[in-house]
Amino acid sequence: MRILSIETSCDETAISIVEVEGEFPTATYTVIGNALFSQVDIHKEYGGVFPAVAKREHVKTLVPMLKKALEEAELLETGSTDIDSEDTLRDILSREDGLADDLVTFLSSYTLPEIHLITVTNGPGLEPALWVGISFAKALAHILKCGVVPTNHMEGHILASLYDVEVDNGLAPISFPALALLVSGGHTELIFMRNWGTYEKIGETRDDAVGEAFDKVARLMGLPYPGGPEIGRRAAIARDTKLPPFPGKPLPRPMIQSGDLDFSYAGLKTAVRNLIGDKELTEDEKNALARDFEDAAIESLYAKTVKAIDHFMIRTLIIGGGVSANNFLRQTFTEGLLASHPDIEVYLPHRHLSTDNSVMIALAGHAQFTTARTAGAIAYITADGNRSL
Ligand code: KG4
Ligand code: ZN
């Protein structure tokens, strides 16, 4: 089966073409084309992601990404693609200003290869951004005469962490029960997995997500968006050079003693704001504060995760989402955790799959497609946009 997957939930525009052999969870997924455009430089100017700007950029970038993914997959051929009804195509894309023109122009110069299934992120994410991807998926399905599987972005992050780690191009054969710690710009969640495809949320942030806290704290320190990588880089310098703590009251570890599995990051951000006050920070102070913040943020994640591991007798920990690119987090949850829990298996994504991408949407879409099909009821969007069984 050949899948074309689309991701536009936030500030990455991504399209992959993936050849699948077998059934989830033992299938192999060979990525033959993978195109990704990060809008980071555009959003930098605004210090964060604005949904309307993200939508505009997705509209501009989807057709170029389609072309790039097909080229990489050696599936791009000149010619022209038959469109049954250009009116229907324009109708499907009517809310995405300019996208129909770009697609029609593209189709007048190239043919599309056979695609069996389109998978597209349908949430969670920024609504205007999500819609661009969904409409584009429906438009392509109209031309290719295939189905569309609406795909959950967070399931994508979970499966991305298991992909190509122990099995070449496959998902690691994990032991259950498993726990997923999802840490991204929009989410901080603990998900209990009794088996493949079952997800039960057992903890989440009560306010800001941990990635959002990295971004906001970076902004308070005058560092560029996205703040996570920059804070991580500076925190590592502070640890290497053994900088003393940032002067003032030590940062709190929010919720660490609470009886539940929830998180909170708004208070930590406010504590950083209060520490900075109206001071002009030196480079050393920025580095020290980055480390102190990172220590507090990761310690809260760690405490609740260990609590869930012990309570639910977890055998596998899966960490996914953009913040899983953080080196200190990786070290804490591997060397650190294995010291007290030597039997637990820990999975982290390859670095290029830790932040948003479309490979993970192929994996999660296929999981959804196969599990629903074996259960006898596959819900997917047909080319005319209706959900069908
Ligand atoms: O999963 P993702 O790419 O997008 C969402 O679904 O939100 O996560 C983006 C988040 C941003 O907040 C970014 O600052 C954070 O991941 N991030 C990091 C690192 N790389 C990305 N946070 C800490 N350390 C990093 N190295
Ligand atoms: Zn994400």
The pTM for the full model equals: 0.94
| CA 373 distance to own-chain centroid | 25
Residues with CB under 6 Å of ligand 1 are: 10, 184-186, 211-212, 214-215, 226-229, 232, 321-323, 325-326, 355-356
Per the CB < 8 A criterion, the answer to whether 18 and 2 are in contact is yes
What ligand is nearest to the CA atom of residue 208? 1
Q: Which atom of ligand 1 is nearest to the CA of 214?
A: 14
Query: 57 alpha carbon to ligand 1 midpoint, in Å?
Result: 19
pLDDT at 84: 80
Of 104, 100, 109, nearest in space to 77 by CA: 109
Per-residue pLDDT of the chain (389 residues; tens, 9 = 90+): 999 999 999 999 999 999 999 999 999 999 999 999 999 999 888 878 899 999 999 999 999 999 999 999 999 999 999 888 899 999 999 999 999 999 999 999 999 999 999 999 999 999 999 999 999 999 999 999 999 999 999 999 999 999 999 999 999 999 999 999 999 999 999 999 999 988 999 999 999 999 999 999 999 999 998 899 999 999 999 999 999 999 999 999 999 999 999 999 999 999 999 999 999 999 999 999 999 999 999 999 999 999 999 999 999 999 999 999 999 999 999 999 999 999 999 999 999 999 999 999 999 999 999 887 665 544 444 444 443 32
> Which DSSP helix (H) or strand (E) runs through 137?
helix 127-144
Q: Which residues contact 133 (CB under 8 A, 6 or more apart)?
A: 6, 7, 8, 9, 58, 62, 120, 121
pLDDT at 375: 58
pLDDT at 187: 94
**Which residue type occupies 303?**
A
